[in-house]
Structure 1
Amino acid sequence: MQVYAIGDIHGHLDLLQAVHDLIARDRAANACMDAPIIHIGDLVDRGPDSPGVLRYLRDGIARGENWQVLMGNHDRLLLNFIRMPEWHDPGLRSGLDYLHPAIGGRATLQSYGVTALHDVDMARAEAAALVPQADLDFIASRPRMIDMGAQLFVHAGLRPGVPLDQQSEHDLLWIRDPFLLDRRDHGPLVVHGHTALPRACHYRNRLNIDSSAAYGGPLSAVVLEERKAWLLTPQGRAELVPA
């Protein structure tokens, strides 16, 4: 069975449409038109068109496309910024909030028409009025993990040694070193994003497909068969050889 996956989008609708075009060509060339496409999360923040990304994905799923979309930590940040005023994400270090320049939430709020970015409470009130309920509901309903048998898709990674049914949402959305430094086999190949790299990279037990679209890099689309993976390029498939 072939499965496609797309890395962290971060509000770049143009890049998302371009990699969907690459997938469409690969599907046609390899007679796998019904193969699922999994989006690894971080749909919003930092890029110029988070509303367009959410609308594009919602519309595609509504018309019956075989797309699945995970929640990323940035998606939860937007959702809870609006819905839970007193909440502070434990993944953010002290002194950071959704409006901090390092987070990228300002770009998302501006793309929805929010102007009061100098004040958290005013920005939240504007966002509550301007962000469509359909976008918030879409984010809230995203799964945190997708198990495809040979591959397991999560946004950030897994807590090593913890059974899948006991993994915390915080780790699935935020974990880094305890997962990234662990070389043990997890059973399925863990396909994730969250930790930006210059390019997608296969580590035998995991595959990181966040190729830094948030910072001016490309958006990666890969196709997987069991534990093998290929990066999709305009010239065709390029195998990602395990490091």
Structure 2
Amino acid sequence: MRKHGRPLRSRRRHAASGLQAAAFVTGSPLVSDSLAALSAHPNVHQNFNVAGEGSGPVSDVFGLAVLGGSYSSAGTASETFSARVSMSLNLTQLPSHNPQDLVVGLLDPHSTGTGFDLLTFTIMRNNAALLTQSFTSLTAANSFFHDHTIDFGAVGNGVPAGSTLDLQFQLDVTAHDPSQGFSLDMIFGNATLDFGIAAVPEPASAYLLLAAGAAFALVRRARSRR
């Protein structure tokens, strides 16, 4: 399904641009959707074996997400805008029946103006912080969020027996000027490093958006491996 000739991923990214805080998630995406997201990102794709195109165990893609924030046109001082995506997963229901690692693939950053004054990206697993990464340089942020894979070890680590895997991704954008804004998109799931493939043909399908606990919050306050 396409609208105005643009895939849903592109439209979600465009929709996040200019909003004070925005979060979109595709839960349990179609194989074709995951392949489309990975098609221009060989460093990430080499770590996701979505459809058996790689040499190792098949990956389970939990979600595709977009997070973004930008300064309010009505703002008068430095503000922080927070976008958040949350998801709970029952690991006993993995389609592959093969627990691997929790792998996050950062696909593309997008910015307006100078981007931000301060940017912080946080990943939580079952209320424990897996990653807190902060930036004051747009160049450094663009490098980190482009075609970059992070492996957090066994997918069941930190998940009590009988509990769900609870994930939360949050982007905090601190800015002071209406021209500033930053967003990113990513893929995450149960996967094994180096068992994917570098490139595949881009499929013609678009994203199927599923309810998966996406949420965003606006907070005002004053001022790896490739």
Same fold (TM over 0.5): no
Which structure's residues are more often strand, by fraction?
Answer: 2
The TM-score by the shorter chain falls in which range? Answer: under 0.3
TM-score using structure 1 length: 0.26
Which structure's residues are more often helix, by fraction?
Answer: 1
TM-score using structure 2 length: 0.27
Q: Name which structure has the greater RCO, CA cutoff 8 Å, separation 6+.
A: 2
